[in-house]
Amino acid sequence: MLIRRPPSIPPSELTPPALYKRRKFLRAALAAPLALAAPAIAPAKAQAAATPDYAPNPAFTMEARGYGTFTPKEKMAGYNNFYELGTDKRDPAANSHFYRARPWRVAVSGEVAEPLDLDVDDLLKLAPLEERVYRLRCVEAWSMVIPWMGFSLSALVKKAQPTGKAKFVEFITFNPDELFPENSNSSLPWPYVEGLRMDEAMHPLAMLVFGVYGELLPTQCGAPVRLVAPWKYGFKSGKALVAIRFLEKQPATTWNVLQPGEYGFYANVNPNVSHPRWSQASERAIGGGFLPERRKTDMFNGYAEEVAGLYSGMDLQKQF
């Protein structure tokens, strides 16, 4: 079950005071985005959707990247971060029955010429779907190699026609306290918020994902639509998106506000910048056996050739 908060115990006694104060601040900061994010989401029965057509993209194959083998599908689906469904890596699979991915709407607003309110199946029609094999690297120093199905985020950006004021893109997920209040999860202030700089959002590698392993996303993996930015740590890739906003100023993102010393806004995979509690110099592959060998972490998760230019002139030790 999800984490429950006994009504007789105040949140300030369950959480370190400094972290509790930051959570209160973040809830206030996110009040406006939450008001804009009112999707049609279903906690129980929902309409089924057919797996859409897609084509493998040879530029992103395992052979092109030297990845070796896919992470086993059952490992990917049973061990992941999806904080709305719990904080343990196995919670999302156990608690995925709490919501359904159809019907679902995604609101696009902010500094745009064309605000959008799209059903997810209309969103699927914005661009041809393709399969891309990306490695996902998590800040806890583990990685997976996954065949994602979707299209470049830039297709949605172009459809929304951002104005000259739009410098950042904010991604907002559903609020689990509203969707299933009887199983309230107080682990984080909701909704979960992440963001990219505009040039990051327009980069061809940044992807809106609707499926994995040739099938629609399972709910524990962020159905019906999630973000994947493969050169960044996994927490940047918001799941089950309900709203996307184009902003002039950098958004207040969840982990960066709660624990700024551990989670930077950029969150680029960088083996030279250690997490305060562990090194990022190496990683272990999920699904690599009982005691998988650790491998050296690649700068930008192996995508340096494509994305390093986005950060030219930046101090990556400070802007991490």
Of residues 303 and 16, the one with the higher pLDDT is: 303
Q: What secondary structure letter does DSSP report for 293?
A: P
Q: What is the mean pLDDT of residues 92-104?
A: 91
Structure-token match 């992103």, residue found: 60
Structure confidence by residue, pLDDT tens digits, 249-300:
999 999 999 999 999 999 999 999 999 998 999 999 887 666 667 889 999 9
Mode of pairing for the β-strands spanning 207-212 and 116-119:
unpaired
User: Of 6-15, 159-168, 183-192, 259-268, where does mean pLDDT reach its minimum?
Assistant: 6-15
Secondary structure class of 160 (helix, strand, coil):
helix
Q: What per-residue confidence (pLDDT) applies to 213? A: 94
Q: What is the mean pLDDT of the chain?
A: 85
Tokens of 190: 């909701």
Alpha-carbon torsion angle 183, 34, 221, 166, nearest 10: -170
Mode of pairing for the β-strands spanning 241-247 and 105-110:
parallel
The CATH code that applies to domain 11-266 is 3.90.420.10
Could you tell me the pTM of the whole model?
0.85
Secondary structure class of 34 (helix, strand, coil):
helix
Q: What per-residue confidence (pLDDT) applies to 66? A: 85
Mode of pairing for the β-strands spanning 142-152 and 282-285:
parallel
Q: What per-residue confidence (pLDDT) applies to 5? A: 31
Secondary structure class of 146 (helix, strand, coil):
strand
Sorted by where each begins, the domain ranges of the chain are 11-266
Taking phi over 0 as left and psi of -120 to 50 as alpha, with beta for the rest, 7 belongs to: alpha
DSSP for 46-105 reads ----PPPP-EE-GGGSHHHHT--SPPPHHHHHHS---GGG-SSTTHHHHHGGG-BSSS-E
Percent with pLDDT over 70 in the chain: 82
Of residues 287 and 196, the one with the higher pLDDT is: 196
Q: What per-residue confidence (pLDDT) applies to 136? A: 95
Q: What per-residue confidence (pLDDT) applies to 211? A: 96
- Could you give the residue ranges of the DSSP H alpha helices within the chain? 11-14, 17-29, 31-36, 62-65, 73-78, 91-95, 120-123, 154-160, 176-179, 198-201, 254-258, 304-307
Mode of pairing for the β-strands spanning 142-152 and 130-138:
antiparallel
Q: What is the mean pLDDT of residues 56-63?
A: 88
Q: What per-residue confidence (pLDDT) applies to 42? A: 53
160/76 Cα distance (integer angstroms): 32
Tokens of 114: 């064309």
Banded pLDDT at 305 (limits 50, 70, 90): very high
Structure confidence by residue, pLDDT tens digits, 27-57:
444 444 444 444 445 554 444 566 778 888 8
User: Of 13-17, 117-121, 136-140, where does mean pLDDT reach its minimum?
Assistant: 13-17
Strand partners, 42: 100
Q: Which residues contact 289 (CB under 8 A, 6 or more apart)?
A: none
Percent with pLDDT over 90 in the chain: 67
Q: What per-residue confidence (pLDDT) applies to 154? A: 98
Q: What per-residue confidence (pLDDT) applies to 39? A: 46
Answer for the pair 132, 248: CB distance below 8 angstroms, yes or no.
no
Tokens of 226: 């999630």
Q: What secondary structure letter does DSSP report for 12?
A: H
Q: What is the mean pLDDT of residues 214-228?
A: 95
